[in-house]
A and B are shown apart, each in its own frame.
Chain A
Amino acid sequence: MKFSGNRALIVGGSCDLAITLAQCMIKAGLFPILTYRSEKGLKYILKSLKTSKREYNALSLEFGNRDSMNSLFRQTDDNIDYMIDFVHGNFESLIASADVDRIYSYFAENVSFRAELVKKVARIMMKNKRGRLIYISSSAAARSNHGQGFYAAAKLASEAIYKNLGLELGGHGITTITLRPGYIDSGRGRRFIGTHTHEVLNKVPMKRALTKKEVAETILFYLSDSAAGFNATEISMDGGLTAGK
């Protein structure tokens, strides 16, 4: 695969999927910049990426904290070719029983903060006249589920931000994709699948969860020049989960 750019900001870089993607990127000659929100996250990145630090970077970003965002951009030297956005806070609650303060803070963190982040990255990319952003959404955005209303709403709002950006700046060489993975045998998904194995397998026509390697390699493909024609669109990667009734 060929890549026009080199430096990739991976937001939410301490999750298993992000680390797998970073490993694929390093192999492909790209330079991942992984963000983490805690020392635990940083340690996990350092432990997982057993390679020369010169092949990647890890920077702090506390989602929802604007000072932290400004600090991040001071360290990236206005040099970002790709952004892959994995971050998403969890909020499981029935709509009618949710804590109101939590509703406000959840959307501030997961939608408003993200909008500012996307705006800033887009302006950096405009200076360089190129850029590709991939938002990692979820099949939950397309398929309503009890207790996942706020999660899905924030995902859909975020998808709309990315989609519009691709629409507005596609002509300036900046394009976007939303990837909606289904069940992944990794992180939060692995824990859920572990406790609901039969239920999950029954829902997915492929009868298995996705592997993190499959998803990471797919993201890498969508960053490549071969996938340049994809823009302002959502792509489902869920083994057929959302195709059926």
Chain B
Amino acid sequence: MNILEEITEILAEILDIENHNISPETYLIRDLGVESIDLLELAVALNSIFKIDVNDDEIFLKKLRQYITEAEQQNKDILQYLAENLPFLSRKRLEEITADLEEGPTLKVEDLVSYVERQCYEN
């Protein structure tokens, strides 16, 4: 199984839903109603299956709004600042995220895949 398939399996098991409800474009919180305890379970499973260190704040974009506030307070370019602090996300994805903030939590399945890919590469 590739990383996306593994993550899909894990999410489907944690949330007790069918795999076909999950795609790279799926929002974890907006679409699937994932709660904090589910995220914790997901982090533990990713650590166990991929043998990678998982920083919950990073992978689940918990500090996203804090980073944006910091960039604004320091008169820094927001996208550049986010790229420095969330290096596993592409420029294109960061642009999508910053344009999408009004709609609610922006975390997508594809973000998890990007994080795991980077951690596996660094290992």
Contacts and interface: CB of A to CB of B under 8 A. Distances in A.
A168 interface: yes
B37 A127 contact: no
Interface string A51-90: 0000000000000000000000000001000000000000
B84 interface: no
A207 interface: no
A143 interface: no
A191 interface: no
Interface string B29-50: 0000000010011011101100
Interface residues of A, number: 7
B41 A126 contact: yes
B105 to A, nearest CB: 20
B41 A172 contact: yes
A123 B37 contact: no
A127 B44 CA distance: 7
A123 B41 contact: no
B122 to A, nearest CB: 17
A126 B44 contact: yes
A207 to B, nearest CB: 47
A171 B45 CA distance: 16
A241 to B, nearest CB: 37
Interface string B41-82: 101110110000000000000000000000000000000000
A126 B40 CA distance: 9
A116 to B, nearest CB: 13
A126 B43 CA distance: 10
B11 to A, nearest CB: 16
- Report which residue of A123, A168, A171 has the largest number of chain B beta carbons within 10 angstroms of its beta carbon: A123
B33 to A, nearest CB: 17
A189 to B, nearest CB: 37
Interface in A159-186: 168, 171-172
A127 B48 contact: yes
Contacts of B47: 123, 127
A78 to B, nearest CB: 8
A126 B48 CA distance: 10
Contacts of A171: 37
Contacts of B48: 78, 127
A20 B62 CA distance: 44
A7 to B, nearest CB: 17
Contacts of B45: 127
A2 to B, nearest CB: 27
Interface string A106-134: 00000000000000000100110000000
Contacts of A126: 40-41, 44
Contacts of A168: 37
A127 B43 CA distance: 10
12 contacts: A78-B48, A123-B43, A123-B47, A126-B41, A127-B44, A127-B45, A127-B47, A127-B48, A168-B37, A171-B37, A172-B37, A172-B41
Ranked nearest first, the 10 interchain pairs of A and B with the lowest CB-CB distance are A126-B44, A127-B48, A123-B44, A127-B44, A168-B37, A126-B41, A123-B47, A172-B41, A126-B40, A123-B43
Interface of B: 37, 40-41, 43-45, 47-48
Given A123-B43, A127-B45, A127-B47, 12 more contacts: A78-B48, A123-B44, A123-B47, A126-B40, A126-B41, A126-B44, A127-B44, A127-B48, A168-B37, A171-B37, A172-B37, A172-B41
